Amino acid sequence: EADIYQTPRYLVIGTGKKITLECSQTMGHDKMYWYQQDPGMELHLIHYSYGVNSTEKGDLSSESTVSRIRTEHFPLTLESARPSHTSQYLCASTQGGGNEKLFFGSGTQLSVL
Amino acid sequence: DAKTTQPTSMDCAEGRAANLPCNHSTISGNEYVYWYRQIHSQGPQYIIHGLKNNETNEMASLIITEDRKSSTLILPHATLRDTAVYYCIVNNYGQNFVFGPGTRLSVLP
């Protein structure tokens, strides 16, 4: 049912590297979100977008940045990865406009060594 | 902060009904009650949502009290694959979803 895709599924990378986590949806949804989740812990909203050229920071402070140049694409970038960035990153989207049902991707498990 | 309160964990025997409670005593009149679940480390999956009437779909039933201050998600015949963390969220148009700790449901053989 959900047409939202995240790549890569797993990423192991060294400290100081620049990384981009990809998220794409084919449902034409305006609203997109990035959540961060540590093992066994709650999801925390780190970024969201209500449409093209709209990006906002979420409830949890994050050193990552996002962009929304196209409706279907909402990539997340870390300029210089650190071990503290090790976590699972989940992308989601919703049409909004009263229908707030969220669709989630499978997530990217990031490990920074 | 999450506007709901859920038990930390629950057990249910396979084949029996699983009844997951949620308190949302500060819910406002135009806020919906949503339920999601997260199996292992996958992305959360939508289950059901409602405003004031009881709702049923192929996955579950949602019972909302008349004063809307609490609700119950019912999985009528729980299977081992229903073992997951279940999140109850109240949300309104334009709001971002805030996920609390949820209830960890363990379905036992």
Average pLDDT estimate for B54-78 = 96
Residue B34 CB: number of other CB atoms within 10 A?
Answer: 21
Indicate whether B24 pLDDT > 90.
yes
User: At B50, phi and psi to the nearest 5?
Assistant: -160, 165
Indicate whether A59 pLDDT > 80.
yes
- Torsion B81-B86-B89-B94 (CA) sign: negative
Q: Note whether A104 contacts B98, CB cutoff 8 Å.
A: no
Nearest to A88 among B34, B41, B100 (CB): B41
Query: Testing the interface with A: which of B37, B40, B41, B55 to mutate, by most A Cβ within 10 A?
Result: B41
Beta partners for residue B88, in sequence order: B35
Q: Note whether B99 contacts A102, CB cutoff 8 Å.
A: no
For residue B15, give the 3-state DSSP assignment. coil
Angle at CA B94, nearest 5°, toward B91 and B99? 40
Which of A15-24, A98-107, B26-35, B80-89 is the least confident region? A98-107
Mean pLDDT for chain B overall: 93
Indicate whether B85 pLDDT > 60.
yes
| b (16+ CB within 10 A) / e for A75-112 | bbebeebeeebbbbbbbbbbeeeeebbbbbbbbbbbeb
Average pLDDT estimate for A38-63 = 91
For residue A75, give the 3-state DSSP assignment. coil
What is chain B's Cα-based Rg? Answer: 13
Query: In chain A, what percentage of residues exceed pLDDT 90?
Result: 85
Q: Note whether B49 contacts A101, CB cutoff 8 Å.
A: yes
- Torsion A46-A51-A53-A54 (CA) sign: negative
pLDDT score, position B44: 94
Task: Give the closest residue to A72 by CA, choosing from A90, A52, A58.
Answer: A52
Indicate whether B107 pLDDT > 80.
yes
Which of A32-46, A87-101, B16-30, B76-90 is the least confident region? A87-101
Six-digit token string for B70: 């609490």
pLDDT score, position A6: 97
